[in-house]
Amino acid sequence: MINRRTMLRGVTASGAGVALGSSFVPSVLGARERKPDAAGKPKRVIFFLQNNGFHTAACIPKGMKKSASLFGAKLPHSIKPLEPYLHKISIINGLHGRHTTPTHSAYFGALGGYRGGEHRAPSAETIDYSVSKVLPPTILPHLRIGMGSLSGMERQPSVAALSASGAGAPLYMHCNPNHLYQTLFGNIADGDVKKEYEARSQIFKEVESIAAKGKGGLPERDLALYEPYVNGFSDINALRKKLSAFSEPLKQFQPEYSDKSLSPQFETDWHDTLLDIGIAALKSGLSNTLTIASGRAGVWGSWEGLGIETTGHFLGHMGQEGNPIWHKIRNYNCQMLVKLMKSLESVPEGNGTMMDNTLIVYTSGNADKQHTNAATWPFILLGNCSGRIKTGNFIQFDGTRPINALYTTILHAIGAPCDRYNMDEANASKLDSGSGPLEQLLV
């Protein structure tokens, strides 16, 4: 996991901005605003990962041993809140992630489909970032939020552990909802939030001007190191200008800003607020891809707001299905998934709703459990992605195709077909019994 201090040390290499007044580091600055396109095309994808594994017993419908319809199925207690939506989901088991070498977490490898693990930098971009480049362009294509313990989110308002834009290029998730709210909605907010936003905006403009003047007379070697700082402030100011021009859609879907953010009693107050900000970013058209990391993709995290005293790493050593602690956490996940679906269903789009043109991918950053060899890696897909993904089924694979094949399938569904995702033929000959998408999932 890469913390904020590491981020600031690495600014010269990334060119992503420095001395930020919040934890906000956009992944694609200067991206075009969304333009209307033909109805019925995929417009957004959401990735939701819970740490410490997703046990097969907590995923597979009771009595199912092979692929079958979910009609009339009884879901495990852990995911029971999804039972009213069986016709809108697909449950997948039997894909593997052995090559990601997870122990406590595969980290970047979970969405990259390559070797991951603690303290290992990403070796290529991850599927969430890849998707954000293909979907209809927005101001902030890829928004990432991380939900951890309250002290952890306060201490590290941004961390990088799950998403990447390329080899050695981690992308940071936003963990402090106050910082993220001010960045995205400060321009249209009231009171102290608006005052602080305006004060920071003025400082950023002045610093950009001063920094630009400071380039004069620098030797070429020093200029190469200095220029990313100048570009960083320029990027921040350009984004704020775009958000200002985007104020009407933001006002329409502006989330509530309450004491749950300013004076949280439990970490779940911040988790709920972060989710609301993510939903607002999708509904307003600000973002096309949302990545949610419950447990911030690592081994820790806490859920005291659910009445759970046990914290992250110790949770990973417990069984999940039949365990009331894990029932609470997984039910909480499912309630968030249902909220995402209902929120998007409430907004008309084309001949249907936003949810009709959305795919939600739910899984874990650590396959089926802690200390796993990742021989199986369960997923739940929610939504049909504009009619491209089959729903209402449990699909059991034989363990010979990797999670990369699912990511290839997602790219096919959104109109960017490829034979393999982040896997060359040499590795595929050892890890993948097929090529191309998982046809069982595509319409």
Element holding 144 (H helix, E strand): strand 142-147
State the pLDDT at residue 390: 98
State the pLDDT at residue 74: 96
- DSSP secondary structure letters along 228-272: HHHHHHHHHHHHHHHHHHTHHHHHHTPPP--HHHHS-SSHHHHHH
> What is the CATH classification number for the domain harbouring 401?
3.40.720
Within a domain: 168: yes
CA distance 205 to 234: 8
State the pLDDT at residue 24: 42
On average, the pLDDT of the chain sits at 89
State the pLDDT at residue 73: 96
Within a domain: 191: no
CA distance 139 to 246: 9
State the pLDDT at residue 109: 97
Within a domain: 4: no
Within a domain: 207: no
Within a domain: 21: no
Within a domain: 234: no
Look at residue 30 and tell me whether its pLDDT is greater than 60: no
Look at residue 277 and tell me whether its pLDDT is greater than 90: yes
Look at residue 33 and tell me whether its pLDDT is greater than 50: no
Look at residue 7 and tell me whether its pLDDT is greater than 80: no
Report pLDDT digits (tens) over 362-413: 999 999 998 899 999 999 999 999 999 999 999 999 999 999 999 999 999 9
Look at residue 164 and tell me whether its pLDDT is greater than 70: yes
Report pLDDT digits (tens) over 299-354: 889 999 999 998 877 888 888 889 999 999 999 999 999 999 999 999 999 999 99
Q: Which domain holds residue 151?
A: 27-176+267-431
CA distance 79 to 90: 13
Report pLDDT digits (tens) over 83-98: 999 999 999 999 999 9
State the pLDDT at residue 4: 33
Residue 3's Cα: distance from chain center in Å? 17
State the pLDDT at residue 203: 93
Within a domain: 243: no
State the pLDDT at residue 319: 85
Report pLDDT digits (tens) over 113-136: 999 988 899 999 999 999 999 999
Within a domain: 250: no
CA angle 398, 400, 401 (to 5 degrees): 105
Look at residue 141 and tell me whether its pLDDT is greater than 50: yes
Tell me the whole-structure pTM to 2 decimals: 0.90
- Tally of domains in the chain: 1
As given in the structure block, the two tokens for residue 50 are 């819970």
Pick 287 or 320 by higher pLDDT. 287
State the pLDDT at residue 265: 97
Percent of the chain with pLDDT over 70: 91
